[in-house]
A and B are shown apart, each in its own frame.
Chain A
Amino acid sequence: MPVNVALGHLSNAFLIATLVIYSLSVFAFAGDFAFGRPRRAAAARGQQEARDRTAALATVGAAPVAAGSATAETSVSEPSEPPGDPGPPAAPGAGGPVAGRPADGAMPDLAVPAFRAIRAAGRWVTTAVLFSSAGVAAHLTAVITRGLAVHRAPWGNMYEFVTALTCIAALFFLFVLIRYQAWTLGVFVMGAVVVTLGLAETLIYTAPGDLVPALQSYWLDIHVTAMTLATGIFFVAAVLGFVYLWIDRYTRRVAAGRAAPGHGIIRRLPSTEQIDRLTYRTVVFGFPVWTFGVIAGAIWADQAWGRYWGWDPVETWAFITWVLYAAFLHARATAGWRGRRAHYVQLLGFTSLIFNILVVQVFIAGLHSYSGVAG
C-alpha cells in the first residue's frame, strides 16, 4: 500500500508540537525549582496531615481506639522516621528495624491522592504535569498517525525507533510521576526526552516509507515493539541513575567537607534510597521486556535467517546489554556493590544499548542493517 502522505505530514506536525510542549514542561519543571513553593513547607504540611491522621486513628502502638467503633476505617500505618534523623528511631514504636521513608524530599506520602498532591505542590508543578501530559498525548498521536501513514508498526527504522522509544519513556515517566509523586525528577527525565527527540528530528529524520522484505513480518510488531518498550523504560532508569550518581557524589563531597550542604536543587530531590529503589523497580520492569524482546528476536532470526542465535553484532550487543542489566540486578544484592557501583553497572548497560543503536546498527556490517541512516 502506498504511504499516506497527508497522515505523514500530520504526524510530523504533531511531533513538532510534541517537542514544543515537552520543552514548555521542562521549563515549568525547572521553574518549580527556581520559583516554586519551597518543597519543605509542603512536605512538612503533608506530614502534619499524616501525623494528624495517625494520631486520630491511633495506630502506631500509641493512642486508643474507641471500642467497637464500627464506622472507623481500619487504619494502616507505617512507621515514619523523624525528619532529618538518620539514626535509629528515637521513640519506641515510632519506627522499627525496618525504617520507613525518609520524610524530606519528594514522594513523601503516597497516601495522599496523586492529583491532589500535584495541585498541592504548586502552580509550577501543576503546569509542568499538564504540559507533560499534553506532550505525551501529542507524541502518541504522532506515533500512531505515522503508523497509519505507513500501514505498519511505526518503528521500522532508527528515526521511528527513537521517536517511539522517547514516547514510551515519557509515558512511563508520567506514570512514575503520578504513582510516586516524583515531579522533582521531571526536569531531568523530560529534559533528556526533549534532547533525544530533538536530535532525532534534526539529525536522522527519515520520511515515511515502506520496509524491505526482511522486515515485512509480524515479528517486527513483536520483537521491535518489545525492544522499543524496554529501551524506553531503560531510558528512564538511566536518567534516574545519573541523578542518583549526582546526588551521591554531592553527598560524599559534603561528608568530606568539600561542598557546602544544602544544595538548592538536591535538597528538593528524593533521597538516594528513594531514587535507588525507583531505578530498581524501573529496571525490574524493563528487564523481562528486554528478555522477551531478545527471545522474540531469536524466533524471528530463526524464521528469517535459519538460526535463532548467530552472534550477529546486534545480537551480541543485545546479549551484552542483557548481561549488564542482569549484573545490575545481582549487584544490588551483593555486599560492596550496592548503590553507586550498581548504578555504574546500570548506566554501562544503557551505554551498551545506545552503542548498539547508534554505532553497531549503523557502522558495523551485519544482518541488522535497517537503520535507514547512512553510515
Chain B
Amino acid sequence: MTDIRAPETDPFDPAAERDDPPRPGPGSPGAGTFGLTDWLKWAWRQLTSMRIALILLFLLALASVPGSILPQQGNDAPGVQQYYTSHPDLAPWLNRLGLFNVFAAPWFAAIYLLLFASLVGCVVPRTFRLAGSARTLPPRAPRNLSRLPRSAEYVTTLPPADAAQVAARVLSGHGFRLRRPAASEGADEASEGRQWVSAEKGYLREAGNLLFHLALLGVLVSVALGGLFGYKADRLLVQGQTFADTASALDEFHPGRFVTDANLARFTMTLDKFTATYISSGEQAGQPSSFDAKVTYTGSAGSPARTADLDVNRPVAVDGAKVYLIGHGYAPVFKVTDASGHVVYNQATPFVAGAAGNFLSEGVVKVPDAQPDQLGFTGVFVPTAVNVSGTLESVFPAADNPVVSLIAYAGNLGENSGASQSVYQMDTTGMKRLTTRPQVLTPGQSLKLPGGRGTITFTGYVPWVSLAITHDPGQLPALICGMAALGGLLLSFMIRRRRVFVRASAGQQGAGQQGAGQDGTTVQVGGLARTDASGGFEAEFAALAAELRSAHERAAPAAQPVQPQPEGE
C-alpha cells in the first residue's frame, strides 16, 4: 500500500524522504576519525531529518501553551501586574524564564528558527530535485504491467507500433509527460513487435508541497518585517476633542525596532460624536447592539478634512496607518472652583469601566491648581444607577440615570515627586480625606467642600473612545504568503502524481494463451499513483483505460467481427 508506507517505498521520489537511512557521507559520531566538519554534517543531517522536525513541531505547540495560560505583556499588561501581586515569589522566576512574554522569548525564537532551518534544509534540496525531475523523463515501462496496482489488458488489431502511437496521442492529450523508447534502446524490443509508452503527470503535487513550506517561511519573514518596521499606538479620545498623531500625544506607543517618531503618520482626528446602543429587553438586555464613532480626520499632506464612521469591524485608513475603535467609556465633566472662587478645573475626565459591569466606571479628578491646597477626587460613574440596599449599582450600560459618587481629598497630589503617575490613579498618602462618605451627585448638582475649600459640580458627561493606531508593512506580504501556503497545501493534497504505462505486443499475451488468435496486438495498460492523499485514481485509471481502448478500436481497420463478450459482466 503505497499510501500507507509511502515514503520509503515511494517509486516516485526515492530520495525525497528526509528520514532515509544512512546516506553516503560521514557515519555516526564515535567512529574513529570524526572531525569537526563531520560533526557539523552530522548535526545538519539530524536537524533536517523528519524526526527532528516533528519534535520541533511538538516543542512549538508545547511552548505556546504557557503563552495562553499566563498573562502576557503584549496583551494583558495589567494581568501581569496582578500576577506579580498575587504570586510575589513565583512571578520573578516566571519573568526570568520569559513566561510573561513567551512569543518574544529567546527560547521560543530558538524553536521556530530551528524548525525553519530544518525546513530550509529539507525544502531547498527538494526544490533542486523537483527541478531535476521536471527535466528528466518518466522511467521506462516495466516489463510486467499486470503487477502494477492498476492494470488492464485488451487486444487490438493495430500493429504494435501504431497502437503505441495512438496511446501516446491519447495520453499526451491528457497532459501526461511521455517517454517512448529511444531509437537505440527500442530497437531490440521493437524488432520483437513490442512497443511501450511511459507517461507521468502531477508534478504540481510536489511543487505545491514546496510552495506551502516556502510560503510559511514567507509568513515568518512578513511577521518579522512588521515587527521591525511597524508600530502600534493607543489613544483615548473624548468626544469633541482632537488629537494629532505624534508620539507625545499618544497614550501608548510601541514602535518597531527601526521606527522613530518621524515615521508616524501625521494626521489629526476629532471625535465628533460617539453612540453606543444596547439591547434593552429580553435575555440579552445590556448587550451592545451597535457602536458608531463619527470622526473627522485630516491627513498629513494638507489633504482636506474627511469624515468617517468608525465601528468595531470598520477601521479607517489614513496616511498608511489604520485607526481602530477598540473601546469606549464615559467621561464625566467636572467644574471645580477653589477657595478663592476661581474656576481651576473644568473638563471631561475619562473614567474607566471596572469589573462590576454595565459600565460602572472609576476615575480620579486631580486639581493641582487649586488654592490653598491641591484638590483631588476619587469617583465612580454609574450610568444607570440603582440604589441596592445602600450601594450604587449600574443596571444598564447606557447612561439612563447617570450619577457620580465622589470622595474629596485635599493636600499634596505628589505630582512633583518625580515618579510619573497614571491619570487614572491618585496617590492619597499626602492628602487628607475631606468627606467621610462618598457623595452622590446627579448632573448639575454641586458638592460644597468642607472648610470653604471650594465646590465641585458634576455638569454632565460625554463619551470617549479608545483608538488603536497601527501600521504594519508586513501585513500584505503575510496575507499573500498565507494564501500561497493554502494554495500549495491544496495543490499537494489534491493532485496525484501518477504514472501510466502502455505496452503493445504482437500476438496474444497472457498466461494461458488459450483461445488466442494469431494476429492482433495485446495492449497492456498499467498505472500507479502516489495515493497518500485523495483516492480516486481507480476511477481515473479506468476512464483512461477505456479511452485508450476506444481510441485503438477507432484507429483499427474495421475488419474484425464483433464477438460478444461471455456473460458475467
Contacts and interface: CB of A to CB of B under 8 A. Distances in A.
- To the question of whether A and B form a pair in one complex, the answer is yes
Interface of A: 52-53, 55-79, 93, 96-100, 110, 207, 209-210, 212-214, 216-217, 219, 273, 276-277, 280-281, 284, 287-288, 291-292, 295, 298-300, 302-313, 316-317, 319-320, 323-324, 326-327, 330-338, 352, 360, 364-366
A61 B532 contact: no
A93 B511 contact: yes
A304 to B, nearest CB: 5
Given A55-B568, A303-B313, A311-B75, A68 B563 contact: yes
Given A68-B562, A74-B545, A74-B549, A96 B149 contact: yes
Nearest to A77: B151
Contact of A67 (B513, B545, B563): B563
Given A74-B154, A210-B287, A307-B232, A333 B565 contact: no
A311 B74 contact: yes
B515 interface: yes
Given A291-B489, A307-B470, A316 B568 contact: no
B155 interface: yes
Interface centre among B65, B284, B289 (most CB of A within 10 A): B284
B275 to A, nearest CB: 12
Contacts of B458: none
B5 interface: yes
Interface stretch (B47-55, B123-131, B422-430): B47-55
B54 A334 contact: yes
Interface string B468-492: 1110100100110011011001100
Contact of A61 (B4, B53, B510): B510
Contact of A62 (B144, B511, B566): B511
A306 B315 contact: yes
Contacts of A53: 568-569
18 contacts: A60-B151, A66-B566, A67-B517, A68-B156, A68-B157, A70-B553, A74-B154, A75-B152, A76-B538, A93-B147, A93-B511, A284-B533, A288-B493, A306-B322, A309-B223, A313-B68, A319-B64, A335-B19
A212 B510 contact: no
Contact of B512 (A63, A219, A280): A63
B380 to A, nearest CB: 23
Contact of A59 (B152, B311, B485, B489): B152
B4 A311 contact: no
B225 to A, nearest CB: 13
Nearest to B276: A213
A330 B152 contact: no
Nearest to B511: A62
Interface centre among B102, B151, B282, B514 (most CB of A within 10 A): B151
A66 B508 CA distance: 10
B528 interface: yes
A316 B153 contact: no
A56 B54 contact: no
B229 interface: no
Contacts of A316: 64-65, 67-68
A76 B150 contact: yes
B154 A65 contact: yes
A64 B514 contact: yes
B76 interface: yes
A59 B511 CA distance: 11
B326 A299 contact: no
Contacts of A93: 146-147, 511
Interface in B406-428: none
B91 interface: no
Given A214-B312, A303-B313, A306-B324, A64 B508 contact: yes
Contacts of B475: 302, 308
B188 interface: no
Interface in B535-550: 535, 538, 541-542, 545-546, 548-549
Given A219-B313, A295-B482, A330-B57, A335 B8 contact: yes
Contacts, number: 270
Contacts of B69: 313, 364
Contacts of A323: 57, 60-61, 64
Contacts of B311: 213
A360 B68 CA distance: 8
B222 to A, nearest CB: 10
Ranked 4 nearest A-B pairs via Cβ: A56-B568, A61-B146, A68-B560, A72-B565
B477 to A, nearest CB: 11
B2 interface: yes
B174 to A, nearest CB: 16
A358 to B, nearest CB: 14
Given A53-B569, A334-B50, A306 B562 contact: no
Chain B contact residues: helix, strand, loop or mixed: mixed
B520 interface: yes
A313 B486 CA distance: 23
Interface string B113-149: 0000000000000000000000000000000101111
Contacts of A100: 149
A219 to B, nearest CB: 7
Contacts of A62: 510-512
B562 A214 contact: no
B450 interface: no
A68 B472 CA distance: 70
Contact of A273 (B1, B151, B512, B549): B1
Given A60-B151, A306-B232, A307-B232, A209 B283 contact: yes
Interface string B14-35: 0001010000000000000000
A300 to B, nearest CB: 8
A277 B3 contact: yes
A168 B321 CA distance: 40
Nearest to A326: B57
A229 B380 CA distance: 46
B4 A273 contact: yes
A65 B75 contact: no
Contact of A292 (B486, B516, B520, B538): B486
Contacts of B102: 311
Nearest to A300: B313
A269 B533 CA distance: 22
B54 to A, nearest CB: 6
A311 B103 contact: yes
B288 interface: yes
Contacts of A63: 510, 512, 514
Contacts of A335: 8, 19, 51
Contact of A64 (B75, B223, B291, B510): B510
Given A207-B283, A295-B483, A309-B223, A303 B512 contact: no
A335 B21 CA distance: 10
B44 interface: no
Contacts of B517: 67
Nearest to B144: A61
A333 B533 CA distance: 12
B561 interface: yes
Given A209-B283, A311-B75, A333-B17, A76 B288 contact: no
B263 interface: no
B107 interface: no
A292 B479 CA distance: 11
A327 B57 contact: yes
Interface string B362-394: 000000000000000000000000000000000
A168 to B, nearest CB: 19
A353 B434 CA distance: 55
A64 B513 CA distance: 7
B7 interface: yes
A135 to B, nearest CB: 27
Interface in B190-212: none
Contact of A68 (B513, B528, B561): B561
A66 B517 CA distance: 9
Interface in B439-488: 468-470, 472, 475, 478-479, 482-483, 485-486
A299 B548 CA distance: 48
